[in-house]
Chain A
Amino acid sequence: MNEILGLDYPTLWFLVVGGVFSGYAILDGFDLGAGALHLFLKKEESRRIALNAIGPVWDGNEVWLVIGGGALFAGFPVVYANMFSAFYIPLMLFLVVLIFRAIGIEVRSKEPGKLWRKGWDVAYSISSILIALLLGIIVGNIILGIPLDENHIFRGSWLDFLNPYSILVGVTTVALFMMHGAIYLTMKTEDRLYAKLTILVKNTTIFFVVSLILVTFYTLIYLPHMTDFIAGHPSVFLLPVIMVLAVANVTRQISRRKYIFAFVSSAVVIASLLMIVALELFPVMIFAPNNPENSITIYNAASSEKSLGIMLRFAAIGVPLVAGYTTFVFYTFRGKVKLDDTSY
C-alpha cells in the first residue's frame, strides 16, 4: 500500500473528508446560527443587517457541503451509498429545508410588504434551525451506529433516526451554531444591534454548555463503544481537553468582548468535537451495533488506491485555491456591515 508520511491513502482521504466537513461546520455553522437567531432580532433594519452579514459568504460556505458530499462519494462510495440510503427520509427533509432557506435569503428583501418579509423571515429562520437539527441528528446516529447486514446494507427501520440520543445531539448542534453565529454577528454589527447581540451571545453560550454537558454524560454512561477507544489510547484524551479549554476560552473572550478570539475558539470547539467523534470511531465510519464485524470501515469502503491517489492530488491543488479565494472574499467584506444598493 502506498503511504505518505506513514499514513495510507484511505486514512489520508479520511482526513480530507473530515477536514472538509469540519470546514463546512465551521463556515456554514455561523450562517446557520445567524439564521437560527434571526427571529430574535425584531427590527427590520436589524434583520437586514444580520442577513447582509452573511450575504456575500453563505453560498460559498454551503459549497463545502457539496465538496464534502463529493469527497465522500468519490473516496468512500460504500459509506456514501449505504448511509445516504439509510437516512433517506431525514436527508430528503434536509434537502427541502436547505432549499427553503436559500430561497428565504434570496427573496425576503425583494418585496417591501410586511407579511412577505415576515413570512420569509420565519421560513429562513426555522429552516436554519431544522438544518442544524438534522445535521446533528445524523451525527448522533453515526455515533450510535445503525444496524447493518453482512453486505453493510442498512437493516433497520426508517424511523430509527429519531431517537433520544440523536435528538439531544441535534439540539446541541443547534445551540453550538447559535453561539457561533451570535459571535459572528457581534463582529459584524455596531450600536444597539451589537448591544442586543452581546446578550444573545451569553444566552446561547449557556444553552450550548448545558446541552454539551448532557450529551457528554449520556455518551459516557450509555455508549461504551465510544469511550473504549480513548481508554486504549490515552494520548487521544488530549482532544476532549482541548475542546473543554476552547469552550472555557469562548466564555472568557466573550466577557472580555474580544469577539474575534471568541469566534476562533468556537471554531476550535466545532472542529475538536467532530474530531473526537471521528477518532473514537476510527477506522470505523459507520458502526454496526448489531454485529461490529458488519461495520463499514475506511478500508472496506474506500475507492481504489489509484482513484484516491488522483483525488489526493486534486486536494493538494484545490484546497489552497479554495482557501485563497475564500480569504479574499472574507477580506473584501471585512468589518461592520454597511447596507448599500446591492444589499439584500
Chain B
Amino acid sequence: MDVEILSRIQFAFTIAFHYIYPPLSIGIGLIMIFMEGQFIRTGNPVYEKMTRFWIKIFALTFGIGVATGIVMEFEFGTNWAVYSRYVGDVFGSALAAEGIFAFALEAGFLGILLFGWNRVSHKVHFFSTIMVTLGAMFSAVWIVVANSWQQTPAGYHVVGEGMQARAEITDFWAMVFNPSSIERLTHVWIGAFLAGAFLVMSIHAYYLLKGRFTELSKKAFTIALFVAAASSLAQLFTGHKSAEVVAEYQPAKLAAMEGHYDSLAVADLFIFGWVDQEKKETKGLKVPGGLSFMLHQDVETPITGLNSFREEDQPGLINFVFQTYHLMVAIGMALIALSLYSLFLHFRKKLFQKRWLLWVFVWSVFLPQIANQVGWYTAEVGRQPWVVYNLLRTSDALSETVTANHVLFSLIMFTIVYILLFSLFIYLLNKKIKHGPEDPELHQHSPRHSGMASTVKSQSHE
C-alpha cells in the first residue's frame, strides 16, 4: 500500500476512535449539569449520588478522549505536511483558538470537577461542571469550524504558486462563519447530546431491569429522556439544513450520498439501496422525486448528478458514502421514534413497566455512536478527492519525507495501543456500572483530613 492510503487509514482510524469519546463528554456533561442543577435546587441527596456517579464515568471518557486527541493535532504536521503549510494560515488559527479558548477552560476546571467535591462549595463545583461542558462544546466549535472550512472554504485567498502556494486568511469571521459551519456545528453538538443521553438511559435502564438504584435510576433516566427527545427532533432539522448546504456547495458529495448519476433527471430519495459503480446506477426502495422535493419542494427540478463530474473529481467510494449516509438517517429516525414513544409512555406513567422497552434502551446506546461515526464517514469520504474542497487534493497534501514504512509502523502501533485502550475502557466502564452509584452519606464525615484511616476508607470505595 502506498503512503497516501496508509496515511488516510491512519488518520481515519485515529480520529474515528477518538470520536467515540468527546461526544460522550459533551453529552454526559450536559446531563450532569441538569443532575447537579437539580441537586443544588432541591438538595435531594439522590441527585448528589447520581451526579457523583456520572462524574466518575465522565472522568473515564474524558481521560481517553484527551489521551487520543493530541494524536490528530500532531498528525497534521507529521503525515500531511503539504496540507499543513497550505492551510496553516487559515486552519491553524482555528486550532490555536481551540487550544486557548476551549481546552484550557476544559482542563482547568476539570480538576475541580473530578477532585473538588470536598474542597469547594456546591455552587463552585456546579460552576466548574458548566465550565468543563462549555469547554468541551467550544472545542467542538473550533474543530467543526476548521473542518467546515475544508468543506466550504471562505474568507481566504490563495497566494504563491507551486510549492509555495498557500491559502491566506482575508476575513476571519467569514472563515469562522463559512457556509457550512453553523449547520454542521449544531448537527455535531446534538449528535453528542444524543450519545450522552443514550448512554445515561442505557445504564439506568439496566439498573431498573435489575432492580438496583430504582428511585435514582428513574430520575436519571427521565432527565436523559427529555434531552434525547428534544435532541432527536432537533437533529432532523439540523440534518436537513446540513444536507441543503451540501447540495449547494458540494454537489458531487450530495450525488454520492443518494447515488444519483443523471444530471438531467429528477432525483429520488432512497430508503435503502445499493449503488453499482460499474453500471452507474442505484437500486433499492425509493421515493420517486424525493430528493428533488426535499431540496426544491417540487418533484420536477433535476439535481446535479455524478455524471457531471470527471471521474477524478468524484468521491471514489460512492456506495460507501451512500450506505453510511443512509445508515445515519435510518438511525436518526429510529432514535426519534424510540424517544417520542417513550416520552408518551412517560406521561402516561407506564414507561418503567415496559421491560422489553428498557432492554431496547440498554442496547440502543450503540445507535447514536454508530450514527455519529457513519455521519462523519459520509462527510469526509464524500469530500474526497479533495482535502480542501476544490482547492487541494488529498493526494497532493502528504508529507514529502515520510515513507510508507514509517506510516505502516505507526499504524500498527496505534492499532495495538487502541485495542488495548478500548478493552480497558470497556472493562472499567463495566466495572463502574456493576459497582453503581455510592451513597454520599458514607462520605459525609469522611476524609477531608488525611491520615491512614481515611486512606483505607477511600481505598475500600474504589
* Residues on A facing B (Cβ under 8 Å): 45, 48, 52, 55-57, 59-60, 62-63, 65-67, 69-71, 73-78, 80-89, 91-92, 94-96, 98-100, 102-103, 106-107, 109-112, 151, 153-155, 158, 303-304, 306-307, 310-311, 314-315, 318-319, 321-322, 325-326, 328-329, 332-333, 336-343
Contact = CB atoms under 8 A, between A and B. Distances in A.
A73 B63 contact: no
B113 to A, nearest CB: 9
B88 A59 contact: no
A153 B401 contact: yes
The 4 residue pairs across chains A and B that have the minimum distance between CB atoms: A77-B88, A84-B77, A74-B92, A56-B111
Contacts of B279: none
Given A69-B74, A84-B74, A311 B96 contact: yes
Nearest to B457: A341
B98 interface: yes
Contact of B77 (A80, A322, A329, A337): A80
Contact of A303 (B69, B89, B101, B431): B89
B399 A67 contact: no
Given A81-B85, A333-B119, A56 B112 contact: yes
Contacts of A303: 88-89, 92-93, 168
B62 to A, nearest CB: 8
A56 B107 CA distance: 9
A62 B107 contact: yes
Given A56-B114, A70-B95, A71-B96, A81 B399 contact: yes
Contacts of B402: 85, 88
Interface in B203-255: none
B100 A314 contact: yes
Contacts of A56: 110-112, 114-116
Interface in B40-83: 59-60, 63-64, 66-71, 73-74, 76-83
22 contacts: A56-B111, A56-B112, A57-B111, A59-B107, A60-B107, A66-B103, A67-B103, A73-B73, A73-B95, A84-B76, A85-B78, A87-B78, A88-B402, A102-B66, A107-B424, A304-B169, A314-B100, A325-B109, A328-B108, A338-B454, A340-B448, A341-B457
Contact of B462 (A74, A109, A321): A109
B459 interface: yes
Contacts of B409: 89, 92
B413 interface: yes
A100 B73 CA distance: 17
Contacts of B410: 88-89, 92
Given A60-B104, A63-B107, A81-B82, A342 B89 contact: no
A73 B96 contact: yes
B450 interface: yes
Given A69-B74, A89-B406, A326-B108, A311 B67 contact: no
B421 interface: yes
Contacts of B431: 110-111
B104 A322 contact: yes
Contact of A103 (B64, B166, B400): B64
A310 B104 contact: no
A63 B413 contact: no
Interface string B438-458: 100001001111101011011
A62 B401 contact: no
B317 interface: no
A94 B78 CA distance: 12
A63 B103 CA distance: 7
Given A56-B110, A89-B406, A303-B92, 8 more contacts: A59-B107, A67-B100, A76-B88, A85-B400, A106-B60, A109-B462, A311-B96, A322-B100
A75 B85 CA distance: 11
A311 B85 CA distance: 17
B112 A318 contact: no
A325 B88 contact: no
B71 A329 contact: no
Contacts of A62: 66, 70, 107
Given A86-B401, A106-B60, A153-B401, A71 B109 contact: no
Contacts of A158: 406
Contacts of A96: 413-414, 417
B455 A45 contact: yes
A325 B96 contact: no
Given A67-B103, A89-B406, A110-B431, A73 B450 contact: no
B84 interface: yes
B117 interface: yes
Given A88-B406, A341-B461, A66 B99 contact: yes
Contacts of B159: 304
B353 interface: no
Given A60-B110, A69-B73, A80-B77, A102 B459 contact: no
Nearest to A313: B172
B176 to A, nearest CB: 10
B232 to A, nearest CB: 32
A43 to B, nearest CB: 11
A214 B432 CA distance: 50
